[in-house]
A and B are shown apart, each in its own frame.
Chain A
Amino acid sequence: MNINVRILTKSVAQQYAFKRIVTFSTKPTQQAAAAAVPQQQEVTGPTVRKPIVPAHYRFVYPEFLPDPKVEWRNAVREKLERLDMIDRRRQIELPEFYVGSILAVTSSDPHAAGKTSRFVGICIHRERCGLRARFILRNVIDHQGIEVVYELYDPTIQKVEVLRLEKRLDDSLFYLRDALPEFSTFDENMEAEPLEEGAPVPINDIKVVLRPRPWLERWERQNLLGVANIEQYIKDKHRKSAEKVQKPWEKYDLMKQYRATIPEEEQKEIFAEVHTELHTLELQRKRNKRKRTFVKPKHLA
C-alpha cells in the first residue's frame, strides 16, 4: 500500500515535471539560435518557425528579466520563478503598467469589513524582479498622503486595474512626496481610460511643483525632468555641491552599463521561453474582454 502510494506519487510527480519541462524547454530557443545563424547566410532557405519576441516585451514584462548582479544569478531558480510567474498569470490578469500609471489594486484583507480593500494611486516606483517584483502606489486621501507597497505576484491580490496607462519623464517619482498634494491626488472612483489598441503609451510631461525645503532627498542632485521649481529653492552652495557629485562620464562607461543590464542575447533567450505562453494569455484576455463588453450592457432600463 505504502509502496504503491509512493510509486503513484512519484509517477505523478514525474508526469508533472515532464509536462512542465516540455512546455518551457529551452530546445526551441536553441533551435532558433541555431536557425538564426544559417538564415543570415542563406536568406531564401526554408524558414523554420521560430518564436518572434516583440521588442517591447522587456518594457511590458520587466520582472521576467533577472537581477543582473552576478552573485545573485542562478539559472535554475530563475527558470523555476518564471514558471511560477506564468502560473500566476494564468489565474489573474496582471496588466502592462509603468511608473506614472494610475492603478487600482483590489486585495483580500482579513482586517477589512468586506474582506477586500481597494486602493487607487499613482505608481511611483517599480523594483525587484521575478516573484519578488513590487511597486508602490501613492495617493492623497482626505489631505493625507498615503503610500502602499504591493507585490505583483502576491497571491492575495485579486485584481489589478490600470485606470490610466501613461509614463512620466522620470524613472521613479519619489519626489511626489515633496510636491504639492494636488500632484498626487487621484479620485478613488475614477473610471478606466482605455487606450486605443496598438497606440504607443503616452508620456505625461507634467512638471511637478515642489514644496519649499526641507526635502526628504536632495532632488537638485538627481537631474529630474519632471520637477518645475527646483531652482527656486536651492542656493549657490547647493548648486555647487550638486555639480561636485555629478558623474557626466558615466554615460560613456560601457562596462558599467553592461554590468547593470541583462544583455540582449540573454533577454531574447528568456523571452523566447515565455513568449508563447504570454502571447496566448494576452489573446485569451482580449477575447474575454470583447465577450464581456458585448454581453454586459452598462445601464439597464
Chain B
Amino acid sequence: MAQLLLRNFTRAGNAALLTKGTSSSSITATSAEPGSCQLHTTPACCEIRKLARLRVVDNSDLGKRAMAEGRPPRCIHVYNKRGVGLIGDKVLVAIKGQMKKGILVGLKQKQRIKQPQFDSNNLVLIDDNGSPLGTRIHVPIPTVLRTILKEKTLAKGADYTKVLAIASRYV
C-alpha cells in the first residue's frame, strides 16, 4: 500500500490532495528520486481502490475541466464491502477539491468472458440521488450495466438508471 501511495504521488507530482498522514511519505519519495533510477518495479495496479485515478467520460462541466487541466479525479472510497471497485459500483471521488460520487462504467481490469475490457478506467459523475451531472457519455459503455444498475436501483433508494439514459452507445 505504501508503495502504491508513493507511486501515485510521485507520478502526479502535485500536492493538491495530500493529506496530513501521507505528506511525509511523498517528501521522502521526491528526495529519493534523483539518486535512484526507478522507484518502483512492480506493475501498475489495475484495480479501482482508494487513490486510483479515473477518467471522467461524461460532459459535465466539472469533469471536463478536471480532465482538461490534467488533474483526473481520484477514488477516495468504494461503496462496497471489498474495497475494490467493479463495474457499476459507486465510488466517492476527489475532483478539483470537491467530493463527488460517481459510477464506474468501464474498467481496465480483466473482465469476464464476453464483457468488454477498456483501456481506461471510466467514471460518470452523479449526485446523491443518482442523477448524472452531465447530459451525455461520449464513450461506449458495457451492456451489463443495464442489469447491474437496475438491480442497484431496486436495492438502494437512489435511481441509477438515469446514467443509462445518457449513454450514447453500448458495447
Taking Cβ atoms with an 8 Å cutoff, the residues of A that contact B are: 107, 109-113, 117, 119, 134, 141-151, 154, 156, 177, 237
Q: B118 contacts which chain A residues (CB < 8 A)?
A: 144-147
Taking Cβ atoms with an 8 Å cutoff, the residues of B that contact A are: 37, 57, 106, 111, 113-120, 122, 138-140, 143-147, 168-171
25 A-B pairs with C-beta separation under 8 A: A111-B145, A112-B143, A112-B146, A113-B170, A117-B143, A117-B170, A141-B140, A142-B139, A142-B140, A144-B106, A144-B119, A144-B120, A145-B119, A145-B120, A146-B116, A146-B171, A147-B116, A148-B115, A148-B116, A148-B117, A149-B113, A149-B114, A150-B114, A154-B113, A154-B114
Query: Which residue in chain A gives the minimum CB-CB distance to B141?
Result: A144
How many A-B pairs fall under 8 Å by CB?
67
Q: B169 contacts which chain A residues (CB < 8 A)?
A: 141-142
Chain B interface SS verdict (over half): loop
In the bound complex, CA of A113 to CA of B165 (Å): 13
Chain A interface SS verdict (over half): strand
Q: B37 contacts which chain A residues (CB < 8 A)?
A: 237
**Residue in A144, A146, A156 whose CB lies within 8 Å of B114:** A156
A136 smallest CB distance to B (angstroms): 9
- Whether B119 and A117, one on each chain, are in contact in the complex, defined by CB atoms closer than 8 angstroms, is no
B112 smallest CB distance to A (angstroms): 8
In the bound complex, CA of A111 to CA of B120 (Å): 22
Known: A112-B143, A117-B143, A144-B106. A107 touches B114 (CB 8 A): yes
- Whether B114 and A141, one on each chain, are in contact in the complex, defined by CB atoms closer than 8 angstroms, is no
Q: A146 contacts which chain B residues (CB < 8 A)?
A: 116-119, 140, 171
Query: Which residue in chain B gives the minimum CB-CB distance to A145?
Result: B119
**6 A-B pairs with least C-beta separation:** A145-B119, A111-B143, A144-B139, A112-B143, A147-B117, A146-B116
B36 smallest CB distance to A (angstroms): 13
Interface core residue of B117, B138, B171 (most chain A CB under 10 Å) = B171
- Whether B139 and A143, one on each chain, are in contact in the complex, defined by CB atoms closer than 8 angstroms, is yes
In the bound complex, CA of A248 to CA of B130 (Å): 58
- Whether A142 and B143, one on each chain, are in contact in the complex, defined by CB atoms closer than 8 angstroms, is no
